[in-house]
């Protein structure tokens, strides 16, 4: 073996996996079992006490899921990862380690619609308070910092308009405030952007989207960059204080630069319970093997479709960071030089009615609430995912009444353009 480090495509196929030691199976087996036999009583006690690593019960860990965790950690350049049942579960588990009731976190206003709901409403019942900031105005994050701030949350490529966030600038604000920067990297995937290289401390994903990539399995993952010192200022007692459920050990002291991933597993996943099915882990692992190929095709198709729409007389504007004229093009060149992703919006001269009509006329595009499928998808956010927001909030989050969102798949771009042409023209 040479000592060169494996490249991204090699990691996407191999990281975390090896032939099954008992059967020789080359694909990672689905360990469809709830529990694992202990060697003896001492072994059982050491597993429960966190003195040894090993399998206990699939709610806490599973060998199929472990391969997925190692693979995504390698692709993102993190120290460790934890797979969970969905992207939303990842967000709950992350913030549960960081916030006590009454604490705050700052979140970019341009976010996946479900995250806006989760942060603004569901988290209120835990006593976690979201403070909104504008990802186009880095100073708005600085102004939002208070002594109760415990984290900053942004998306690398933001839903729904595919805008690019200046991760490095916001990571500087986080560092000054002494709080971790959490980046939802779902729309970029590590193929396009690796937030840890730009100062992120924690990366979360909805694996449901581009990483799984085939629109068939829900999943989420948390990647620990291993960069944050949890012991400062007593702000993160879950990590720095003795844990009564584990004989008084301190997680940061014991686990060092992967303490956060451990906390998410042994305090978050164990007690909240959103475990990923090993079957879904297998489906997502299979998807990740082709991530570099798919992502490049997604991006190349998206650029071609965005260019077509930009020239169409029924279209008022196109928001795609991959276009030279786009206001995020500069950031796209810096953060995502291989392509600006495959999710973007455009607005129609005919407003709300034209948006609803377009969605009903498209044939190859599926009208549904998802992104990051092999298939091309379309949605009119104002009448669906963002319908619960008032008009001003819709516009602020990039989902005004005239806006249509596309998630471009890996079909032939000529067929996608032909479908849009007939739907816009008719």
Ligand X SMILES: *Cc1c(COP(=O)(O)O)cnc(C)c1O
The answer to whether residues 13 and 289 touch, using CB atoms and an 8 Å cutoff, is: yes
Helices (H) and strands (E) in the chain, counts: 18, 14
User: Which residues, numbered 319-348, are part of the site for ligand X (CB under 6 A)?
Assistant: none
Beta carbon of residue 345, minimum distance to ligand X (angstroms, whole number): 14
Q: What angle do CA 174, 177, 183 make, to 5 degrees?
A: 20
The answer to whether residues 128 and 100 touch, using CB atoms and an 8 Å cutoff, is: no
Question: Which residue lies nearer to ligand X by CB, 247 or 367?
Answer: 367
The answer to whether residues 90 and 96 touch, using CB atoms and an 8 Å cutoff, is: no
- Strands 80-84 and 220-224 come out as antiparallel
User: Which residues, numbered 356-385, are part of the site for ligand X (CB under 6 A)?
Assistant: 371
3-state secondary structure 344-367: EEEEECCHHHHHHHHHHHCCCCEE
* Residue 217 lies near ligand X (rule: CB under 6 A): no
* Residue 184 lies near ligand X (rule: CB under 6 A): yes
CA separation, residue 169 to residues 132, 189, 393 (Å): 17, 20, 25
Task: Pick one of 88, 194, 243, 386: the residue that binds ligand X (CB under 6 A).
Answer: 88
Beta carbon of residue 371, minimum distance to ligand X (angstroms, whole number): 6
Task: Pick one of 95, 188, 218, 275: the residue that binds ligand X (CB under 6 A).
Answer: 218
Within 8 A by CB and 6+ apart from 109, the residues are 116, 132, 133, 134, 135, 396, 397
Beta carbon of residue 370, minimum distance to ligand X (angstroms, whole number): 7
Q: Which residues pair with 379 in a beta bridge?
A: 405
Which listed range, 110-118, 145-153, 256-264, 406-414, lies at the site for ligand X (CB under 6 A)? 110-118
The answer to whether residues 91 and 114 touch, using CB atoms and an 8 Å cutoff, is: no
Beta carbon of residue 182, minimum distance to ligand X (angstroms, whole number): 11
Beta carbon of residue 209, minimum distance to ligand X (angstroms, whole number): 5
Task: Pick one of 16, 220, 287, 339: the residue that binds ligand X (CB under 6 A).
Answer: 220
Number of residues that bind ligand X (CB under 6 A): 17
Beta carbon of residue 44, minimum distance to ligand X (angstroms, whole number): 34
Task: Pick one of 69, 76, 103, 155: the residue that binds ligand X (CB under 6 A).
Answer: 155
Which listed range, 37-45, 130-138, 170-178, 180-188, lies at the site for ligand X (CB under 6 A)? 180-188
CA separation, residue 25 to residues 19, 30, 61, 113, 328 (Å): 5, 11, 21, 41, 46
* Residue 163 lies near ligand X (rule: CB under 6 A): no
Q: Work out the number of other CB atoms within 10 angstroms of the CB of residue 313.
A: 7
Which listed range, 53-61, 80-88, 320-328, 418-426, lies at the site for ligand X (CB under 6 A)? 80-88
* Residue 29 lies near ligand X (rule: CB under 6 A): no
User: Which residues, numbered 269-308, are part of the site for ligand X (CB under 6 A)?
Assistant: none
Task: Pick one of 112, 191, 255, 365: the residue that binds ligand X (CB under 6 A).
Answer: 112
Q: What is the DSSP string of 81-110?
A: EEEESSHHHHHHHHHHHH--TT-EEEEESS
Beta carbon of residue 6, minimum distance to ligand X (angstroms, whole number): 28
Q: From CA 386, how far away is CA 250, in angstroms rounded?
A: 42
Q: What angle do CA 217, 16, 96 make, to 5 degrees?
A: 60
Beta carbon of residue 208, minimum distance to ligand X (angstroms, whole number): 4
* Residue 97 lies near ligand X (rule: CB under 6 A): no
Summarize as ranges the residues that interact with ligand X (CB under 6 A).
Answer: 86-88, 112, 114-115, 155, 159, 184, 186-187, 206, 208-209, 218, 220, 371
């Amino acid at each position: 073996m040479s000592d060169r480090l494996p490249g991204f495509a090699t990691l996407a196929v191999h990281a975390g996996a090896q032939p099954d030691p008992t059967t020789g199976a080359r694909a990672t087996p689905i360990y469809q079992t709830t529990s694992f036999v202990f060697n003896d009583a001492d072994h059982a006690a050491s597993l429960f006490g966190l003195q040894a690593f090993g399998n206990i019960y699939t709610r806490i860990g599973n060998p199929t899921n472990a391969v997925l965790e190692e693979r995504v950690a390698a692709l993102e350049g993190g120290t460790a990862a934890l797979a969970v049942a969905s992207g939303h579960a990842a967000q709950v588990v992350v913030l549960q380690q960081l916030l006590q009731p009454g604490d705050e976190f700052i979140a970019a206003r341009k976010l996946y619609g479900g995250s806006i709901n989760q942060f603004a409403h569901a988290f209120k019942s835990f006593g976690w308070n979201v403070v909104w900031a504008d990802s186009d105005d880095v100073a708005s994050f600085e102004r939002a910092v208070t002594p109760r701030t415990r984290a900053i949350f942004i998306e690398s490529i933001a839903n729904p308009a595919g805008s690019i966030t200046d991760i490095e600038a916001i990571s500087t604000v986080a560092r000054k405030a002494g709080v971790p920067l959490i980046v939802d990297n779902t729309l970029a995937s590590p193929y396009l952007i690796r937030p840890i290289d730009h100062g992120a401390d924690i990366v979360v994903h909805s694996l449901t989207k581009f990483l799984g990539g085939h629109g068939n399995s829900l999943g989420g993952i948390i990647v620990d960059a291993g960069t944050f010192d949890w012991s400062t200022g007593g702000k993160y007692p879950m990590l720095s204080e003795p844990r009564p459920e584990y004989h008084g050990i301190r997680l940061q002291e014991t686990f060092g630069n992967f303490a956060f991933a451990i906390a998410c597993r042994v305090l978050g996943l164990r007690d909240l319970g959103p475990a990923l099915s090993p079957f879904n882990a297998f489906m997502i692992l299979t998807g990740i093997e082709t991530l570099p190929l798919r992502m490049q095709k997604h991006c190349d198709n998206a650029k071609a479709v965005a260019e077509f729409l930009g020239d169409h007389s029924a279209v008022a504007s196109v928001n795609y960071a991959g276009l030279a004229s786009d206001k995020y093009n500069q950031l796209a060149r810096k953060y995502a030089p291989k392509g600006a992703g495959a999710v973007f919006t455009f607005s129609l001269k005919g407003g709300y009615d034209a948006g609803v009509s377009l969605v009903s006329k498209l044939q190859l595009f599926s009208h549904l609430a998802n992104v990051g499928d092999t298939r091309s998808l379309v949605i009119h956010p104002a009448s669906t995912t963002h319908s619960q927001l008032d008009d001003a909030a819709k516009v602020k989050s990039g989902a005004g009444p005239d806006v249509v969102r596309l998630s471009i798949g890996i079909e032939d771009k000529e067929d996608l353009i032909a479908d849009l042409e007939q739907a816009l023209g008719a």
